[in-house]
Amino acid sequence: ALDQQGLVPLPRFVRVDIDRIRMLLPELEGYVKRDRLSAGAMTQLEAGAIAEIVVEEALTRGLNVWVDSSLNNADWWSQEIQRIQRTHSHRTCILHVTAKWERVLEREARRG
């Protein structure tokens, strides 16, 4: 909707989504088979590290970056945003997106 309204040109952004990165990790399938509920936690550090590398590389190249995150770790994100503002000439913003719980569950089911 933001792109369609001309507010944010999403095609000109590098989208970094830790959940999508996680889905590409070869070990995820084994973790899911063993314990679906802990598979995310078991891959968080690796997926997060890859996401950090992608963000840093995109910013270094002067590209626009969209980090798709729940911002669960507010302390880490606060420091990371400050670091980005210090080291890159990018403006930053946080979009707070809300959704009905049923819609969240539908999206989760589609992601697997």
Q: What pLDDT sits at residue 83? A: 94
Tell me, yes or no, whether 63 lies in a domain: yes
In three-state secondary structure terms, 51 is helix
In a domain, 22, yes or no: yes
Give pLDDT tens digits along the chain (112 positions): 678 888 888 889 999 999 999 999 999 999 999 999 999 999 999 999 999 999 999 999 999 999 998 888 899 999 999 999 999 988 888 888 888 999 888 887 776 5
In a domain? residue 3: no
In a domain, 74, yes or no: yes
The continuous run of DSSP H or E covering 16 comes out as strand 13-17
Do residues 44 and 6 make contact, with C-beta atoms less than 8 angstroms apart? no
pLDDT of res. 111: 65
Q: What is the pTM of this model?
A: 0.82
Give the C-alpha separation, 71 to 73, whole Å. Answer: 5
- Domain with 17, as residue range(s), is 10-111
CB within 8 Å of 18: residues ≥ 6 apart: 44, 47, 48, 51, 68, 69
